[in-house]
Amino acid sequence: MRDVVIVGGGTAGWMTAAYLTAAFGNRVKITLVESADVGTIGVGEATFSDIRHFFEFLGLAERDWMPACNATYKLAVRFENWREPGHHFYHPFEQLKSVKGFPLTDWWLRYPTSKRFDTDCFVMASLIDANRNPRYLDNRLLEQEFVESDDLPNTIAEYQGAQFPYAYHFEAHLLAKYLTKYATDRGVRHVVDNVVDVGRDERGWLSHVDTAEHGRLAGDLFVDCTGFRGLLLNKALEEPFVSYQDTLPNDSAVALQVPMDMDKDPLRPCTTATAQDAGWIWTIPLISRIGTGYVYSGDYIDPEEAERTLREFVGPAAADVPANHIKMRIGRSRRSWVNNCVAIGLSSGFVEPLESTGIFFIHYAIEQLVKYYPAADWERSLREQYNSALMNVMDGVREFLVLHYRGAKRADNQYWRDTKIRTVPDSLAERLEQWESKVPDAGTVYPRYHGLPPYSYNCVLLGTGGIDVRPSPALDLIDEKDALAEFQAVRDKARHLVRTLPTQNEYFRRMREG
């Protein structure tokens, strides 16, 4: 199990190579082969807050990698127009407080102290409205109580239940480049060539890949990071793909990279998802440009119309920028690990990027691969545990994403009306009924680990506004004094932080100037 061949040099391939090197050092020999002719997907710039464990595991501080990747901070996803035009709400990286055993959102439904649940229940919402940075100019984190890296556990699994207050935006190709150097400096062999054939032994296990110019690459374990192609897992091993398209119909995207000037344009510390006639547009602010794209369903509009809509949305800055049209494969491979082949990245599975879960899936998969790494006997149970962990994560995220569309109050055209009558996964249908009489809590969200805590479901339900949720009847019988004091504490803390934290522009200008 000492010889690993990774095919594919996108975000998935290089994250895997770097992480395995950090985990195993030179006890495992790693070769990564990537094609110069087949490009990477070129998008994938917004992350989950767990990603910081990836960099910590590699021993990289923000000051090492962030400037090299034009990275910025992300405090939340901002949803615009999902309820009605002009409305927005945040899904922030901040745990929801409870008062007397009930989530603050439940109290808010009973005692709505303003029209906005997000600014009343979460400190972050006001910070993002004011474009605040999560660190002070001297680099301290916004909260005293968030302990810095050395004291924190460094895998996602150990970290469940806690919430770090931010994630990152970065340029995907710069991150791949950065990780290429990291991995090759530590001994990973890098082959730039096309894989033209995949060899199997008499049991049907992979034995080697043939390249056009570098001959045969043999290995014990093969990692398929070939993106939507699934060259090893889906093509060579014929593992079927389970589509999610019946519940998540968006199957296409068009993306633009729009130049921006940090000295003039505000660097909003969040990813924005703006609802459109046949999907939604993402906006991701980076140091020197904005990454933006329209995710849509090809059943409702064609690529030309999608591109036109995106260009109008961006305005004159998009005029000379080429568009990247992408067809998306939505769903997951039935099993991500078959025999001696593990698919990581888009080859394993993908849901639309509404909650930035693509890189989270990759990170989680790599951690699980290390956790369930096989010995020479290829114990079957290790693969099975890995496969169910990955399946749970992707199926759980699918449920969460479906909730955004089912919950959206918007129903002004066929696309949005269909989101109200389309099939939802069975288990979600049951939960939707429960949530009408009680906001989500740990007992009523998707029960297996999928990266999303109950407060995420609260945000989406209350923010999208199309499902009628009521406060728990018990709140009529409990003194509300402490809950009202907590709302006041959130307001006070937000006011203090907005006053004292710099804007993202100020912070990164200072970083640039050293």
> In the range 198-227, which residues lie near ligand FAD by CB under 6 A?
225-227
Query: Residue 486, SS3?
Result: helix
Binds ligand FAD by CB under 6 A, chosen from 4, 17, 30, 43: 43
Binds ligand FAD by CB under 6 A, chosen from 76, 121, 248, 253: 253
Task: Annotate each residue in 319-338 with x if it binds ligand FAD (CB under 6 A) or - if it does not, as one string.
Answer: -------x-x----------
Q: Strand pairing partners for 350?
A: 331
Nearest to 24 by CA among 54, 51, 58: 58
Nearer to ligand FAD, 325 or 495 (CB): 325
Q: Which stretch binds ligand FAD (CB under 6 A): 2-10, 56-64, 397-405, 445-453?
A: 2-10
Query: Residue 136, SS3?
Result: coil
Nearer to ligand FAD, 37 or 202 (CB): 37
Minimum distance of ligand FAD from residue 41's CB (angstroms): 4
346 binds ligand FAD (CB under 6 A): yes
Checking DSSP bridges between strand 341-343 and strand 337-338, what pairing results, if any? antiparallel
Task: Give the 3-state DSSP-derived string for 65-127, with helices as H, strands as E and coil as C.
Answer: HCHHHCCEEECEEEEECCCCCCCEEEEECCCCCEECCEEHHHHHHHCCCCCCHHHHHCHHHHH
Binds ligand FAD by CB under 6 A, chosen from 5, 17, 21, 40: 40
Q: Check if 74 is active-site.
A: yes
> In the range 118-147, which residues lie near ligand FAD by CB under 6 A?
none
Torsion over CA of 471, 472, 477 and 483, rounded to 10 degrees?
-60
Nearest to 195 by CA among 228, 162, 217, 170: 217
180 binds ligand FAD (CB under 6 A): no
Q: Which of 29, 74, 235, 327 is catalytic?
A: 74
| Backbone dihedral region for residue 81 (phi beyond 0: left; psi -120 to 50: alpha; all else: beta) | left
Binds ligand FAD by CB under 6 A, chosen from 126, 155, 247, 356: 356
Checking DSSP bridges between strand 76-80 and strand 271-276, what pairing results, if any? parallel
Q: Which stretch binds ligand FAD (CB under 6 A): 138-146, 343-351, 403-411, 489-497?
A: 343-351
The separation between the first and the last C-alpha atoms of the chain, rounded to the nearest angstrom, is 45
Nearer to ligand FAD, 47 or 272 (CB): 47
396 binds ligand FAD (CB under 6 A): no
365 binds ligand FAD (CB under 6 A): no
Q: Which stretch binds ligand FAD (CB under 6 A): 40-48, 406-414, 437-445, 461-469?
A: 40-48
279 binds ligand FAD (CB under 6 A): no
345 binds ligand FAD (CB under 6 A): yes
Token code pair at residue 14: 């290089």
Minimum distance of ligand FAD from residue 293's CB (angstroms): 6
45 binds ligand FAD (CB under 6 A): yes
192 binds ligand FAD (CB under 6 A): no
Q: Which stretch binds ligand FAD (CB under 6 A): 108-116, 358-366, 400-408, 497-505?
A: 358-366
4 binds ligand FAD (CB under 6 A): no
Nearer to ligand FAD, 13 or 396 (CB): 13
Minimum distance of ligand FAD from residue 298's CB (angstroms): 13
47 binds ligand FAD (CB under 6 A): yes
Contact between residue 311 and residue 281 where contact means Cβ atoms under 8 Å apart: no
> In the range 5-34, which residues lie near ligand FAD by CB under 6 A?
7-13, 33-34
Nearer to ligand FAD, 105 or 456 (CB): 456
**Amino acid occupying residue 391:** M
341 binds ligand FAD (CB under 6 A): no
Contact between residue 121 and residue 96 where contact means Cβ atoms under 8 Å apart: yes
285 binds ligand FAD (CB under 6 A): no
Query: Residue 392, SS3?
Result: helix
> In the range 454-493, which residues lie near ligand FAD by CB under 6 A?
none
Nearer to ligand FAD, 283 or 505 (CB): 283
392 vs 181, 352, 389, 477, CA distance in Å? 33, 17, 5, 38
Question: At CA 265, angle to CA 355 and CA 179, rounded to 5?
Answer: 50
- Dump the DSSP string for 258-317: EE--TTTS---SSEEEEEETTEEEEEEE-SSEEEEEEEE-TTT--HHHHHHHHHHHH-GG
Interatomic CA distance for residues 32 and 180, integer angstroms:
10
Residue 443 belongs to what H/E stretch? Answer: none
Binds ligand FAD by CB under 6 A, chosen from 81, 163, 194, 503: 194
The number of residues that bind ligand FAD (CB under 6 A) is: 38
Contact between residue 106 and residue 488 where contact means Cβ atoms under 8 Å apart: no
Report the interhelical angle of 380-407 vs 414-421 (nearest 10°): 130
Query: Which residues are near ligand FAD by CB under 6 A?
Result: 7-13, 33-35, 38, 40-41, 43-47, 172, 194-195, 225-227, 229, 231, 253, 293, 326, 328, 345-347, 353, 356, 358-359, 362
Active-site residue list: 74
